[in-house]
Structure 1
Amino acid sequence: MTPAISRIQPVASSWQLSVAPMMDWTDRHCRYFHRLLSPRARLYTEMVTSAALVRGGQLRLLEHSQQEHPVALQLGGSDPGELAQAACLGAAAGYDEINLNVGCPSDRVQSGRFGACLMYEPALVGDCVKAMRDAVSVPVTVKCRIGVDDQDDYAGLQHFTEIMLDAGVEVLVVHARKAWLKGLSPKENREIPPLDYERVYRLKREFPALVVVINGGITSVAEVQTHLAQLDGVMLGRAAYHDPWLLARLEHALHGEALPSRDEVLRHMRPYVEAELARGTALKHVSRHLLGLYQGEPGARAFRRTISEGAHLPGVGWNLLEQAQKSCLLAA
């Protein structure tokens, strides 16, 4: 096993590089795969609602492996007491950080009075953060937008940040787009509102003690390095999912980590995949996260096609991934 693969106990105090919480994508299988590519990146769960944990008793949503650390639990909610209980459950489950979602603009999230609509209620967000910080010893962080709807000036973000600081927030993750709560889908909210990186840079300049992590539209090593020249951290979203090799390239660029081969990373997924199959997990639930491993390489399409066409079949196992790897090599 090479050092790039075996180093799965990274320093837990750094927010220099992280992978965003993404619904339906950053589940425990995805996070295990991303950890093989990046020994240091901070990984985030999909958003879990506080109600699902506290009222619904869905503790299975907290399942994760020791290899994922440092790993953060993202919560959605707006009831301080309920969020405090959910944060306790997350901390007890071993998560290294509890993050509050104040950035998701979907109608479903808004109807539950959490996500980006809470940018309108910074005092309530502050109460939620205080309640969680009083309940747990791990860091409580916030992920927000630069604004919502007609909140389109720096003053709104500045005011929100001041309240977060008063509540004890030490790390703020900022998606550098505002969100439109009506009229745009979640996908459109990731693409249509213009990016304003300078507003996030200004925030760091004016609040130098605050750890500021930027998110939104970042797709390359060069862009990450540009942001890190002015900020404490960069959070990657869909770029890391669709082209996961970007995480390995960043480990190399930022820390001099030796690059393993993609074939090597795939081989190191085998024990995990076989253990999951043995416990009754269907291959498709793991393999879907691997589709981008050969992104940009000759044969990548054949790799994806072999997995996509076969992973749903009954009884399929690790041999399908070996076939996909061979298909990739033959098509190259």
Structure 2
Amino acid sequence: MTDLNQKSSKSITPRISVAPMMDWTTKDYRFFARLFNPNVILYTEMVTTGAIIYGGANRHLDFNQEEHPIVLQLGGSDPKDLATCSKMAQDWGYDEINLNVGCPSDRVQNNKIGACLMAEPDLVAECIAEMQNAVDIPVTVKHRIGIDDMQSYEEMLHFVDTIAKTGCNNFIVHARIALLQGLSPKENREVPPLRYQDVYRLKQDRPDLIIEINGGIKTLAETQKHLEHVDGVMIGREAYHNPYLLAEYSEFWDLDMPNRFDIIEQMLPYISKRMQEGAPLSIITRHILGLFQNLPGARKWRQALSGGNAKTFADVENAIKNIKEAMQRTEDYLLEKNREEHS
């Protein structure tokens, strides 16, 4: 089915990735996330072609070199614009480019972006073909299992087959339909039932394609179960709220799991640099609030970083001092809890 000249995706196996999430997977979060695991694939927020072409490439394409492997997710439906932005992304140093065919918001629908494109597989194929012709790095597609009246497995298979004829061989499948009329984007992440079996079936029917699964996956055990059926797993909001999950994936590559406090120590020079560039402390620390999620010290850590004190420390020296004090208080609290449990 796929072209012999297709561009292969990153060879890291299994493919574990963090989903593109608007306002969340910023370059500050991605730098933080990379400290947990060198092999997890990181995605940018979705960036529209118009934003890159007319809104400033630097603003929308810049990333930290430490973020590799990193994928730029594009939103758009004009083949020429997508090709232009793909070439810019390759020149910028991205490892892959992904086309968003899954976002259900009204704003992107009105601009013919996202999940509504599932109804136009020929147009998506034209977009992917133009993007592939413009670059040497892999081009992938993230899509739903269906939308609105297009909900059957056969219709999804037709969509995938149409795109695969271009030589594209990597599909990231959100295992829910999107109801573009009547549900909000948040509801479209929660209300339609998960149909993991449809994604498993897709891999079974098209074994030559790289199929990754997305939607509602929150633990290492769940990830391991999915990997019995597909090539990769994409984690969404859990990777943001509980970032240490990324460290738990270290066992896939026989890596040592990092220490949470060591991760923050590695973040401090980055925080200093970003503040010197003019970034407010709160813009950076909002991404690290979940570091101790599921541990007794989680609340102490969040309070220390999001309370009034943290917001008042506008200069770098006091900001770093404040974070170090928060680390110490959290560590002391965890040690005390550990002593209580074993006394």
Distance 1:88 1:311 in 2: 41
Distance 1:25 1:319 in 2: 25
Distance 2:294 2:284 in 1: 21
- Whether the 8 Å contact between 1:179 and 1:189 is mirrored in structure 2 is yes
> Under a length normalisation based on structure 1, what TM-score does the superposition of the two structures give?
0.94
Distance 2:266 2:162 in 1: 45
**CA offset digits 1:207-243 (Å, max 9, x no partner):** 1110000000000001000111111000000011100
Which residue of 1 is the match for residue 270 of structure 2? 272
- Whether the 8 Å contact between 1:100 and 1:141 is mirrored in structure 2 is yes
Which residue of 1 is the match for residue 154 of structure 2? 155
Distance 1:137 1:306 in 2: 46
Which residue of 2 is the match for residue 8 of structure 1? none
Per-residue deviation at 1:12? 4.3
Matches within 5 A, 1:128-277: 128-252=127-251, 254-277=252-275
**CA offset digits 1:47-105 (Å, max 9, x no partner):** 00001111333432111111100000000000000111011111111000010000000
Distance 2:67 2:152 in 1: 38
Which residue of 2 is the match for residue 108 of structure 1? 107
The code of the aligned residue for 1:185 comes to S
- Whether the 8 Å contact between 1:98 and 1:140 is mirrored in structure 2 is yes
**CA offset digits 1:97-135 (Å, max 9, x no partner):** 010000000011111111000011111000000010000
Which residue of 1 is the match for residue 340 of structure 2? none
Determine which of 271, 276, 282 is the counterpart of 2:280: 282
Relative distance call for 1:36 and 1:76 in structure 2 (3 A) is: same
Per-residue deviation at 1:159? 0.4
> Is 1:16 paired with 2:28?
no
Q: Secondary structure at the match of 1:95?
A: coil
The code of the aligned residue for 2:279 comes to T
- Whether the 8 Å contact between 1:301 and 1:328 is mirrored in structure 2 is no
Distance 1:326 1:117 in 2: 49
The code of the aligned residue for 2:166 comes to A
Q: Secondary structure at the match of 1:55?
A: helix
Q: Secondary structure at the match of 2:55?
A: coil
- Whether the 8 Å contact between 1:148 and 1:179 is mirrored in structure 2 is yes
Distance 1:312 1:75 in 2: 34
Determine which of 321, 327, 330 is the counterpart of 1:328: 330
The code of the aligned residue for 1:317 comes to A
**CA offset digits 1:281-328 (Å, max 9, x no partner):** 211111111000000111110100111114432335212221221232
Distance 2:333 2:29 in 1: 26
Which structure has the bigger radius of gyration? 2
- Whether the 8 Å contact between 1:287 and 1:311 is mirrored in structure 2 is no
**CA offset digits 1:8-40 (Å, max 9, x no partner):** xxx942361000000000011111111100110
Moved over 2 A (4+): 11-15, 55-59, 310-316, 329-332
> Under a length normalisation based on structure 2, what TM-score does the superposition of the two structures give?
0.91
The code of the aligned residue for 1:59 comes to N
Q: Which stretches in structure 1 are left out of the alignment for 5+ residues?
A: 1-10
Distance 2:129 2:164 in 1: 10
Moved more, 300-309 or 52-61: 52-61
Distance 1:312 1:179 in 2: 39
Distance 1:247 1:130 in 2: 33
Moved more, 225-234 or 257-266: 257-266
Distance 2:55 2:291 in 1: 36
Q: Which stretches in structure 2 are left out of the alignment for 5+ residues?
A: 1-8, 335-343
Which residue of 2 is the match for residue 3 of structure 1? none
Determine which of 297, 304, 308 is the counterpart of 2:306: 308
Which residue of 1 is the match for residue 319 of structure 2? 317
Which residue of 2 is the match for residue 87 of structure 1? 86
The code of the aligned residue for 1:285 comes to I
Q: Secondary structure at the match of 2:234?
A: strand
Q: Secondary structure at the match of 1:248?
A: helix
Distance 1:98 1:209 in 2: 20
**CA offset digits 1:251-304 (Å, max 9, x no partner):** 13x122111211111111111111112222211111111000000111110100
Distance 2:165 2:118 in 1: 16
The code of the aligned residue for 1:104 comes to C
CA-atom RMSD in angstroms: 1.3
Q: Secondary structure at the match of 1:312?
A: helix
- Whether the 8 Å contact between 1:298 and 1:328 is mirrored in structure 2 is no
Determine which of 293, 298, 314 is the counterpart of 2:296: 298
